[in-house]
A and B are shown apart, each in its own frame.
Chain A
Amino acid sequence: MTESRLHLTRRRLLQGAASVALTAPMINRAWAQEATQINMLGWFGHAEPDIVAEFEAENNVKFVPKYYAGGDNMMALISQSPPGTYDLILSDAEFVQQLNAAGYIEEMDASLYPFDDFYPEYMNFPGHWTDKTLWSVMVRYGLLGVSYNTDALTREEAMSYNAFWNPKVTGKVGHFDWHLPSLGQVSLLNGNKAPSPFDIDEAAWTAVKDKMMSLKPQVGGYFDYGGTFAGLKNGEMLAMVGIGDWITGVLEKDGAKVASVIPEEGGIQWTESYSIGVGTTKHEIINKFINYMLSPKGQVKSIQMAAYPGLSPTKSGWKAIQEANPAEAKRSGLIEGDDNDPIKMLREGRLFFRDVPKQQSLEDWNDFWSDYKSA
Chain B
Amino acid sequence: MTRRFDPYPHVLRLPLILWQGAFFVIPLIFMAAMSFWLVKNYKLEPNFVFDNWTRMLGRGAFWDAYWITLWRAVLAGIIASAIAFPAALFMAFRLSEGGRRFALLCLIVPFFTSFLVRAYAWQVILAESGPVNAVLGGVGLVPYTMLNSGFGAMVGYLTLVLPLVVIFQTWSLAAIDRNLIEAAGNLGATPLRVLGSVIIPAAKTGLVLGAVFAFIMTFGDFVSPFYLGGSKPPTLTILIIDTTKSGQQWPRAAVVAVVMIATLFAVASAALRAAYGRRG
Contact = CB atoms under 8 A, between A and B. Distances in A.
Contacts of A374: 60-61, 64-65, 68, 233-234, 239
Contacts, number: 92
B127 A234 contact: yes
Interface string B50-61: 000000000111
Contacts of A154: none
Contacts of A362: 247
Residue in B41, B243, B247 with the greatest tally of chain A CB atoms within 10 Å: B247
A222 interface: yes
A230 interface: yes
A218 to B, nearest CB: 12
Interface residues of B, number: 31
A234 B130 contact: yes
Interface stretch (B71-79, B89-97, B156-164, B224-232): B224-232
A6 interface: no
Contact of B247 (A72, A223, A231): A72
Contacts of B60: 371, 374-375
B68 to A, nearest CB: 8
Contact of B231 (A70, A101, A177, A230): A177
Contacts of B246: 70, 72-73, 76, 366, 370
A221 B145 contact: no
Given A234-B129, A367-B59, A373-B61, A227 B247 contact: no
A106 interface: no
B273 interface: no
A236 interface: yes
A221 B230 contact: yes
A371 B233 CA distance: 10
Q: How large is the interface on A (under 10, 10 to 19, 20 to 34, 35 or more residues)?
A: 20 to 34
A373 B123 CA distance: 21
B265 interface: no
Contact of A371 (B41, B59, B123, B148): B59
Given A76-B245, A80-B248, A234-B127, A221 B42 contact: no
B61 A171 contact: no
A222 B230 contact: yes
Nearest to B42: A79
B193 interface: no
Interface string B136-169: 0000000001011000000000000000000000
B182 interface: no
A75 interface: yes
Nearest to B63: A374
Nearest to A75: B42
B247 A236 contact: no
A102 interface: yes
Contacts of A333: none
A292 to B, nearest CB: 31
A266 to B, nearest CB: 26
B227 A227 contact: yes
Nearest to A73: B245
Residue in A73, A76, A363, A367 with the greatest tally of chain B CB atoms within 10 Å: A76
B101 interface: no
Contacts of A367: 59, 61
Task: Sort A-B residue pairs by CB-CB distance and give the 8 closest, nearest first.
Answer: A221-B230, A221-B148, A374-B61, A234-B127, A72-B246, A222-B231, A374-B64, A76-B248
Interface of B: 41-43, 59-61, 64-65, 68, 123, 127-130, 145, 147-148, 227, 230-234, 239, 242-248
16 contacts: A72-B245, A75-B247, A76-B42, A76-B244, A76-B248, A80-B248, A102-B43, A222-B230, A223-B231, A230-B127, A235-B129, A236-B128, A236-B148, A370-B61, A373-B232, A375-B61
